[in-house]
């Protein structure tokens, strides 16, 4: 018999989800059969799997050591690298992701921010190897590999759920900084539709709705215009579609500098030769939180800001722009 006492970080999830993680090699039918036969119990009673787990609940598995060994499988460890943590509490943390790092795996063999996050939490003692059998830390927003900036992550089930809900309900304000081609003198609130061209792996901006397209809303305001006639923008993302900022600004005639998919090739080449720019100058800069409760209570009324990467700063300095803190 194996006894599991639910920890704070594991509470808030359904029993069947918890068991699916612990017995990750077992088919769902086996888990539900064991629940029906009371070979798996919750607080000494029969359970059907839909119960929400609370801290200090006791799950007992009346299974042989051979069965447990077969269905628990091995625990994958995290990877180690230095992470730029800009905010952390007992529920969540925010990382300033560098250009070149994946937010989540695209292929099985990839190493992403999630693996580095797991390594960090193991090193700091926020997680143990045994915890990883029933809980995996995760990120709640994704940035393109070559976009830098804030990625929000949950250290507990409650933190993950609350942050994910925040992003889904857009209950925080998301701001980016980007350098774009051309002069922008006025703030704007732009709307449109994005349609995914699967063959070319890019999105297309549409003024009118078409089959398969999704509505987008973006606000921006100019912070400064450079000597070269290009503009530093503060962008507020009101919807969160793939490549939204890059495609939307390109559709407005102000593509992001360094964007080799949606940008201006001649302008990009100038910045590549002069400053070594080989990726879009787009940075997830700030998250503003209103009144928060529960797992996010410590974020109430706070801003979380990620400093701009050195290359971006060097470019702004070179074109006589100082990053504006607002």
Q: Does residue 304 fall inside a structural domain? A: yes
Determine the structural domain holding residue 255 and report its residue range. 172-318
How far apart (Å, rounded) are the C-alpha atoms in residues 209 and 226? 35
Task: Please list, in sequence order, all residues whose beta carbon lies within 8 angstroms of the beta carbon of residue 180, skipping any fewer than 6 positions away.
Answer: 230, 231, 233, 249, 254, 255, 256, 257
3-state secondary structure of 305: strand
Q: Does residue 216 fall inside a structural domain? A: yes
Q: How many domains does the chain have?
A: 3
Residue with tokens 């509505």: 215
Q: What is the pLDDT of residue 104?
A: 87
Q: Which two tokens stand for residue 198?
A: 């699967």
- Looking at 16, 89, 144, 197, which residue is catalytic? 144
For the residues 172-181, what does the mean pLDDT come to?
95
Whether 180 and 290 map to the same domain: the answer is yes
Confidence of residue 323 (pLDDT cuts 50, 70, 90): low
Last residue of a domain, one of 169, 199, 231: 169
Whether 188 and 260 map to the same domain: the answer is yes
| CA dihedral (8, 13, 14, 20) positive or negative | negative
Whether 36 has a pLDDT exceeding 90, the answer reads yes
CA distances from 304 to 175, 179, 321 (A): 10, 21, 23
Whether 164 and 293 map to the same domain: the answer is no
Whether 64 and 94 map to the same domain: the answer is no
How far apart (Å, rounded) are the C-alpha atoms in residues 200 and 198? 6
Last residue of a domain, one of 72, 93, 121: 72
Kindly give the pairing relationship between strand 282-289 and strand 58-61. Answer: unpaired
Residue with tokens 């102000």: 254
Is 16 designated active site? no
pLDDT digits (tens, 9 = 90+) for 177-226: 999 999 999 999 988 787 877 777 777 777 778 777 788 888 999 999 99
Q: Does residue 80 fall inside a structural domain? A: no
Lowest-confidence pick of 244-248, 278-282, 285-289: 244-248
Helices (H), 198-296: 244-251, 265-275
pLDDT digits (tens, 9 = 90+) for 4-31: 999 988 999 999 999 999 999 999 999 9
């Amino acid at each position: 018999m194996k006894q599991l006492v639910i920890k704070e970080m594991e509470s808030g999830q359904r029993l069947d989800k918890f068991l699916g993680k612990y017995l990750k090699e077992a088919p769902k039918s086996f888990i539900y059969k064991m629940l029906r036969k009371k070979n798996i119990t919750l607080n000494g009673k029969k359970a059907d799997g839909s119960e929400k787990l609370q801290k200090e609940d006791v799950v007992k598995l009346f299974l042989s050591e051979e069965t447990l060994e077969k269905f628990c499988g091995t625990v994958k460890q995290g990877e180690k690298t230095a992470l730029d943590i800009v905010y952390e509490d007992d529920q969540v943390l925010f990382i300033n992701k560098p250009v070149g790092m994946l937010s989540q795996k695209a292929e099985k063999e990839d190493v992403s921010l999630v693996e580095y996050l797991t390594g960090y939490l193991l090193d700091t003692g926020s997680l143990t190897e045994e915890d990883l059998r029933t809980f995996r830390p995760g990120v709640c927003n994704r940035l393109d590999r070559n976009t830098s900036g804030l990625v929000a992550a949950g250290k507990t089930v409650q933190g993950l759920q609350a942050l994910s809900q925040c992003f889904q309900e857009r209950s925080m304000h998301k701001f980016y900084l980007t350098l774009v081609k051309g002069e922008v003198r006025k703030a704007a609130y732009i709307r449109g539709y994005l349609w995914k061209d699967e063959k070319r792996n890019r999105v297309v901006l549409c003024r009118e709705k078409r089959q398969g397209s999704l509505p987008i809303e973006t606000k921006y305001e100019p912070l400064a215009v450079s000597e070269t006639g290009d503009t530093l923008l503060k962008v507020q993302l009101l919807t969160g579609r793939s490549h939204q900022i890059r495609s939307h600004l390109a559709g407005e005639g102000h593509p992001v500098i360094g964007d080799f998919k949606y940008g201006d090739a001649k302008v990009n080449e100038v910045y590549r030769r002069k400053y070594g720019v080989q990726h879009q100058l787009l940075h997830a800069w700030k998250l503003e939180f209103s009144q928060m409760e529960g797992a996010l209570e410590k974020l109430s009324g706070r801003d979380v800001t990620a400093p701009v990467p050195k290359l971006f700063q060097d470019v702004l300095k070179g074109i006589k722009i100082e990053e504006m803190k607002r």
